[in-house]
Amino acid sequence: MAKRAKLRARSAVMSISASNVRLKRAYDEPDPKDGRRLLVDRLWPRGVSKSDAAIDEWVKEVAPSTALRKWFGHDPARWDEFRERYAKEIHGHAELLAHLRELARDGPVTLVYSARDEIHNDAVVLRQVILGRPIE
């Protein structure tokens, strides 16, 4: 029974095109090609107005917990452990994760984040989880 559920979940994830899940800083200009723009940070980006951000949905519930965010502190030396811890937190929000995957199956979505580091940030991890890719 559990094996069937895993297979159904895997096939649902496999139908998401990687090109449908994009990443963009909140400080970059919105583009019509962004599709649905989802702010994935727990805090609103400093100095960005709601109209300039053009956010369709703020999914702060899926952002890293305050404790995890503060522990990480955007320190690349903590990146590997942050990815593992954050992936566990994301999976704890199964309904929201299913919602994000559904949006990604329906068309392009852009995960909007405010971090300066474009490689070591929560949106990178969230994209991997949405696409069903392993966190290594």
Identify whether 135 is part of a domain: no
Residue 9 has pLDDT above 80, yes or no: no
pTM of the model: 0.88
* pLDDT, tens only, 74-106: 999 999 999 999 999 999 999 999 999 999 999
How many whole angstroms separate alpha carbon 116 and alpha carbon 88? 24
Identify whether 55 is part of a domain: yes
Identify whether 136 is part of a domain: no
Domain that holds residue 116: 2-130
- Is 21 exposed, middle or buried (CB count within 10 Å of its CB: 0-12, 13-18, 19+)? buried
Residue 7: what pLDDT?
45
How many whole angstroms separate alpha carbon 128 and alpha carbon 64? 14
Selected residue with higher pLDDT from 51 and 12: 51
**pLDDT over 70, % of the chain:** 89
Identify whether 17 is part of a domain: yes
Count of domains observed in the chain? 1
Residue 35 has pLDDT above 70, yes or no: yes
**pLDDT over 90, % of the chain:** 87
Task: Tell me how far the alpha carbon of residue 10 is from its chain's centroid.
Answer: 18
Q: Residue 13's pLDDT band (boundaries 50, 70, 90)? A: low
Rounded to 5 degrees, φ, ψ at 94 are: -55, -40
Residue 15: what pLDDT?
82
Q: Residue 3's pLDDT band (boundaries 50, 70, 90)? A: low
